[in-house]
Structure 1
Amino acid sequence: MTTTNHEHGPAIAATGLRKSYGDKAVLDGIDIQVPAGTIFSLLGPNGAGKTTVVNILSTLISADGGQARIAGHDVATEAQAVRAAIGVTGQFSAVDGLITGEENMLLMADLHHLSKDEGRRVTAELLERFDLVEAAQKPASTYSGGMKRRLDIAMTLVGSPRIIFLDEPTTGLDPRSRHTMWQIIRELVSGGTTVFLTTQYLEEADQLADRIAVLNGGRLVAEGSAEELKRLVPGGHVRLRFSDPVAYERAATALRETSRDDEALTLQVPSDGSQRELRAILDWLDAAGIEADELSVHTPDLDDVFFALTGSPVTADNNTADNVTADNKTVKETVR
């Protein structure tokens, strides 16, 4: 049996994607590779082009240049095949509040041309999976924000997509609902689904993503795992606290490139937080017969990475191009 190339290729592959609105270049040559069964997160300030990327890859709008393949299908020439392989949950809920949760699900089943029996079976399974059975007969307008988001994703899964685009799926949710959504996303991926996630919450990308790309000014300015990105930013250090002023002075004199706090008797030693560097510091302290009362390791987080790479967040006034693809609704920047 001969296998097609895309069965072993990436779930999502894009090269040189370009998109402009008027004289504003929103995407200026974007390359993306997402292996099947992984979570890829796209970070960036408002107006960076995150939604534009999702809309191009999901065939909602066309790129001005470049190529993209989803599940092996070209988004420009095989749009129907791409749509059959994907599910999309946008920033703004697709739930119809005038009908019940179950009716929303059955409507999606009809749109996917499922038989009546198959539609009811899939609906029942997904309502149970997303803990919506009790609310299934109530109008969706009565649902909480977290329940609407769960219903939104359940509706996306009716067609059994292999690849799901989640465009800021937890914006506006309370912490409990956000953690519930994270668990749902993890379960999807453990079942083999590929997730392309855009988010304003850096913790979300840190918690979920196998790989993270940072989009700024129409370009990808960095890509890697959360740990790889954190190592791009200086500022990691080992903090040593002493109660003995003599030991503190000996350590401060002998350790190079150390920042002192004479009042608190603490030293900061630059470090990338690796086990090797930590062991070297401990070995030196032991060899010198110096004992610190407290040792703690501090590494940059994604907040540090984000602001080092993007500078100040782009204000809503400057993100007209991306707002075109978000129904002209402004999503408030929640990154501090």
Structure 2
Amino acid sequence: MHVEASPGEVVAIVGPPGSGRTTVLLALAGRFKLSAGRVDLTGAAALGYVPDVSEPESVLTVAEHLRERLLLVGRSPAAEVDWHGLDPAMRGFELSPFQRQVLGLVLARVGDPRLIALDVTDEGMNADERERLWELIAEVAAGGAAVLLTARELDESRVSTVIRLGGSEPAEPVQVAEPVQVAGPGERDGVAGPGERDGVAGPGERDGVAGPGERDGVAGEKGARK
């Protein structure tokens, strides 16, 4: 498998449950140790919402999640962000799947990463919520970050590249659209290298400082659940 993701591109990993979507996602984001091959990243990578790996802490409010993340990256806890409709007073256990995805992207963007990875973008949401999530993903990509995501199925016109898993043939990425933003000369950012821990992860990731939702600090191993 050979995959390249430039700033502004959206790369989708598509397949049924158990096809290895989350494992590939975490490997490309540098959160899963590879036994062969390599992944290179120029710049920081961050995780959005990845169930069992990077998810909200149940007892913390949305505002507390943000405050913790801002402090983690050395920014003022009073910094203003776009909540995209989230209620800052809601606690982690109250968030719907859609709200968890939104919080994951809000937190991931705090550190201005070059790559953001998010899982299960088509599960647990109604049609309106899925459309709103895609609008937010497009906004993130238009801001210059490469986006990696997983889904069972999707509208391929929304993404730059699709990696299909679960078939009889080895997965091959297929470019289906022009990038939202073209990289500069020589740029090929947005794919994380094994072992790199740059930037800020999605909700619950630690990067050396305790935060909501991580499970013993080994994010990648959780991804194998799919």
Same-fold call, TM cutoff 0.5: yes
For 1:212, what is the secondary structure of its paired residue?
strand
What is the DSSP-based 3-state SS (H/G/I as helix, E as strand, rest coil) of the residue aligned with 1:172? Answer: coil
**What is the number of equivalent residue pairs in this alignment?**
182
Question: In the superposition, relative to structure 1, how do residues 201 and 103 fare at CA in structure 2: closer, same or farther (>3 Å)?
Answer: same
Does structure 1 residue 189 correspond to structure 2 residue 141?
yes
Partner of 2:65: 104
Question: TM-score scaled to structure 2, two decimals?
Answer: 0.71
Q: 1:99 to 1:209 in 2, by over 3 A?
A: same
Aligned equivalent of 1:125, options 78, 81, 84 = 81
- 2:50 corresponding residue in structure 1: 91
CA root-mean-square deviation: 2.6
Please tell me whether the aligned partners of residues 89 and 169 of structure 1 are also in contact (alpha carbons under 8 angstroms): no
SS of structure 1 residue aligned to 2:123? coil
Bigger proportion of residues as strand: 1
Distance in 2 between residues matched to 1:145 and 1:67, nearest whole Å: 32
SS at match of 1:213: strand
Alpha-carbon separation, structure 1, partners of 2:158 and 2:64: 31
Aligned twin of 2:162: 212
Equivalent pair of 1:213/1:224 in contact (CA under 8 Å): no
Alignment correspondent of 1:45: 16
Instruction: Structure 2 unaligned segments of length 5 or more: list them.
Output: 178-219
Q: What does the per-residue CA deviation read over 1:195-221, in whole Å, with 9 as the maximum and x for residues that have no partner?
A: 112211223xx2420222223358224
**What is the CA–CA distance in structure 1 between the aligned matches of 2:223 and 2:59, rounded to whole Å?**
22
| TM-score, length basis structure 1 | 0.49
Letter aligned with residue 95 of structure 1: P
Larger Rg: 1
| Native 8 Å contact 1:40 1:212 kept in 2 | yes
The answer to which structure has the higher helix fraction is 1
Give, in angstroms, the shift of residue 87 of structure 1. Answer: 1.2
* Structure possessing the higher relative contact order (Cα contacts under 8 Å, 6 or more residues apart): 2
Equivalent position amino acid for 1:214 in 2: R
Map Cα deviations across residues 54-104 of structure 1 (whole Å, 9 max, x no partner). 222222221111121012xxxxxxxxxx6xx11112431611121111001
Which residue identity is paired with 2:160? Answer: D
Mark the runs of 5 or more structure 1 residues left unpaired by the alignment.
Answer: 1-29, 72-81, 227-322, 331-336
Q: What percentage of aligned pairs have identical amino acids?
A: 21
Deviation at 1:224, TM superposition (A): 2.7
Q: Tell me if structure 2 keeps the 8 A contact 1:91–1:171.
A: no
